[in-house]
Amino acid sequence: MKVQLALATNDPNVPATIKNEAEKVLHDVPGVRSAKVLIDIHAPPAGAGTAVIAQRLAGVRHIIAVASGKGGVGKSTVAANIAVALEQSGARVGLCDCDIYGPSISLMFGTRERPMATDDNKIVPIEQYNLKLMSMGFLLDDTSPAILRGPMVTRYTQQFLRQVDWGELDYLVLDLPPGTGDIQLTIVQTVALSGAIIVTTPQEVALIDARKAATMFEKVNVPVLGLVENMSYFVSPSDGKRYDIFGSGGGEREAKRLRAPLLGQVPIDIATREAGDRGIPIVAEDRKSPVSAEFCRIAAAIREKLK
């Protein structure tokens, strides 16, 4: 029996391994007297030489991606406050801002400190509110845009994940950019994710894109831990009346459609916005506020899902 295979790789060990293992399997097939495997080696596609096989990060128990299909749904606010809530539960937590073009974690945590490097060329993350942080915002000035093509974005993303000295962590929260593009694919190919959280708002225009984000994770075998409905409603401070500004029930319906839990419904809140602008996540500033309580419930649900 003769088998012809075509393989695209830069690793000289891969063809020999596949050849030997395939011939062993074929020899064990009843009726096969001899087996020979021929491998035609091709050059990999452009950019494939820099691909990284998804692996666990040493010392990090769980890596959680916080994603959205579209921008403007408050994903970074959700990621920041979930990270703080997890830390306040006694966990060791890191937060990586993977939005290379539009980083916001440096502002939301109120620090412009520049990262340092160790002797072995590891990046030392910034520490704030007992969290380890990394963001492109620590490397750029406020007015400096990240003018980068796709390969450089891929490289920065991989460096933020693998070259940062995260140390021992229970949770590493990844604040992803909106959409389903290069950065998302780089992340799922670089590190083994424990799960993803999809952030949406109640209206249909946001839910459509949330479905796309959830479907992307499904296609790469990353479990969706649940949905967070942000800007769910507004409670008037003058009379306590609730207003469903962006509609109601959208997150719950979408969670049922995706067969994932609705982890929480976070209201629009002036104090939350003001705290973020001051560089203090609301959970760190006022743990007793209704919004902080909701983020703490979301964090508890995440811990339970990842047990």
pLDDT tens per residue, range 172-200: 999 999 887 889 989 988 899 999 999 99
The 10 Å Cβ neighbour count of residue 263 is 27
Q: In this predicted model, which residue has the larger pLDDT, 45 or 154? A: 154
**DSSP conformation class of 135:** -
Q: What confidence score (pLDDT) does residue 45 get?
A: 46
Q: What confidence score (pLDDT) does residue 43 get?
A: 47
> Nearest-CA neighbor of 289 among 267, 305, 307, 304?
267
The 10 Å Cβ neighbour count of residue 140 is 14
Q: What confidence score (pLDDT) does residue 112 get?
A: 85
Sign for the pseudo-dihedral over CA of 295, 298, 303, 304: positive
The label of the residue with tokens 């520490």 reads 127
Looking at every residue in the chain, the average pLDDT score rounds to 87
Q: Which of 8-12, 116-120, 138-142, 290-294 has the highest mean pLDDT?
A: 290-294
| Residues 195-227 as b or e (16 or more Cβ within 10 Å = b) | bbbbbbbbbeebbebbeebbebbeeeebebbbb
Distance CA 152, CA 147 (A): 10
Q: What confidence score (pLDDT) does residue 46 get?
A: 42
% of residues, the chain, pLDDT over 70:
92
| Across 124-142, average pLDDT | 91
36 has pLDDT over 90: no
Degrees, nearest 5: CA angle 231-234-237? 140
Split at pLDDT 50, 70, 90, the class of 3 is: confident
Q: What confidence score (pLDDT) does residue 86 get?
A: 98
The label of the residue with tokens 């990284």 reads 52
Q: In this predicted model, which residue has the larger pLDDT, 167 or 248? A: 167
Q: What confidence score (pLDDT) does residue 12 get?
A: 57
Q: What confidence score (pLDDT) does residue 166 get?
A: 95
50 has pLDDT over 60: no
pTM: 0.79
Q: Find all residues with CB under 8 Å of 163, minimum gap 6, and list them.
A: 121, 122, 123
